Amino acid sequence: MKKIRLLLVFLLFALFASVFSLQKICLCYADPLFLMGFRMALSGFLLIFILFLNGKIKIKKEHFYLFFLLGLFNIYFTNIFEILGLKTMSSAKACLIYSLSPFLTAFIAPIFLNEFITARKFFGILIGFFGLIPMIYIKSLEELNIKTIWVFSMSELFLLFAVFFSVIGWIFLKKIQLKGYSFFLANGISMFFGGFCILITSFVVNENWNPFPIYNLFYFMFFTFLTAIISNIICYNLFGYLLNYFSATFMTFSGLMTPFFAAFFGYFFLKEGITWHFFLSVFIFFFGLLIFYFDEKN
């Protein structure tokens, strides 16, 4: 049974990686904000519907603000910046930038959760951020044609903002779980609320609503449903299941497989190139995580 669970770990991060490529494909068939808003609202609706059938939707009024903040940060801001960054960036590079999440979480946790970091952890975080350096010098043709701020393209900054807001969102998710609410309920409510707000934003900023910003309905629905099922239904719940058998540390290190899977999918399905800079960044991230979690273990 343990071997099967280890295979599930590989499957989990392969599926996570596939989402980046699937989202790139979806962008061919709809405008970015509408695409992300529709997917999130759809996923949230499916989760809420399942909970409704089981009679498990009960939220105290004094906790509404936590669900609002979760939807705002973890869904609305995160996904807007993610899809805008991914539009002109390779899926492997976007996935690699998301690998900064553990470092950024440790950096932000003292502000929200009163969890302070040691000097060794701080050193590990710095190394993790240095892992970005090789990748910021490799830009797609689309990135080269858009505005840059210092050495960062707007796509890279969008992805960094997405990681930042997702980390804040996970902190609010932790607060919600400490109040006794399920991961399933928190995600369902936040996805539906955040997705609906993204759809409103899509309309306000004048995406091509004529009548909807969709360019091929069949392919849009197929790839959007596929992405929603993989990302929002299978991956989230499989991750929670595996945490019952593997430590958070093991799962975090295993997550470094995700950029390799993303590079593989991007190369074969999107014809995206892979350079030595990518592998160097992954190695630096791994070294930073090693220092960080060695200190945590002690």
- Tens of pLDDT along the chain (298 residues) come to 777 888 898 899 899 999 999 999 999 999 999 999 999 999 999 889 988 888 778 888 899 999 999 999 999 999 999 999 888 888 888 888 888 787 777 777 667 666 667 777 778 778 877 777 777 766 666 655 666 666 678 888 899 999 999 888 888 888 888 888 888 899 899 999 999 999 999 999 989 898 899 999 999 999 999 998 898 788 877 887 787 787 666 676 777 788 888 888 988 888 887 777 788 888 887 887 777 767 655 5
Q: What is the pLDDT of residue 295?
A: 64
Q: What is the pLDDT of residue 156?
A: 86
Q: What is the pLDDT of residue 87?
A: 84
pTM for this structure? Answer: 0.84
- Six-digit token string for 84: 């805008």
98 contacts 159 by C-beta, under 8 angstroms: yes
Q: What is the pLDDT of residue 297?
A: 57
Q: Write the CA distances from 124 to 68, 99, 112, 173, 191, integer angstroms.
A: 33, 14, 20, 25, 32
- Six-digit token string for 51: 């909970």
Q: What is the pLDDT of residue 55?
A: 76
DSSP assignment letter at 272? -
Q: What is the pLDDT of residue 218?
A: 95
Report the candidate in 78, 238, 252, 248 with the shortest Cα–Cα distance to residue 172: 78
